[in-house]
A and B are shown apart, each in its own frame.
Chain A
């Protein structure tokens, strides 16, 4: 069975601080996808990234970066120089590779609050 754990329920930082959101997963599959999504207070969902389990390269997109560590089954998300607009709930998810996102298991989400 698949499982995604986002142990940090809530995180609060001051603007410009760096913050890392943890995501630990469990799966018996050898190939799988990992995802991060953002849900701002307005309620919409925003897709951030999909990572294939074969690709262990870290990824950077502007102030966002993702650290995939297969050895520790973690796919952590770091926001550098956080801004108030980063305040949101962030969800990590895992899916069987053959099913793409169709069999995703979500973590419970981490609520990030960035204070000015």
Chain B
């Protein structure tokens, strides 16, 4: 019973194409995220979103857009893919519990290769 699932796991596509990566969480968490990990393993957060606010990292090109049809989903759309978009993209969700502790889980990652 996967907590955060993202599909596809692998995505190979040509430059210029538009693609989407789906993410779903079944934890009832209020906040979801997208992260990018490049080939050097550097991590960067791209977006965070809850039902009230979308926070965009200003370094993210506007070709990237998150879409949330409901609280359990945060899909990532990428237009006009470029070679430099090749990376592993992680979806995550989080919630602050009643005891004040944060709980967060990640999807297994989507390896995007742009050729």
Contact = CB atoms under 8 A, between A and B. Distances in A.
The main secondary structure of chain B at its interface with chain A is strand
Contacts of A43: 88, 108-109
Interface string A98-115: 011111101011000000
A103 B45 contact: yes
Interface of B: 31, 33, 35, 41-45, 47-48, 55, 57, 88, 90, 92, 94, 102-106, 108-109
Contacts, number: 57
Given A43-B88, A104-B45, A108-B42, A99 B55 contact: yes
Contact of B42 (A37, A101, A106): A106
Contacts of A109: 41-43
B43 A106 contact: yes
Contacts of A45: 35, 90, 92, 106, 109
Interface of A: 37, 39, 43-47, 49-50, 89, 91, 93, 99-104, 106, 108-109
A104 B31 CA distance: 14
Nearest 6 pairs between A and B by C-beta? A102-B55, A102-B48, A47-B104, A50-B102, A45-B106, A106-B43
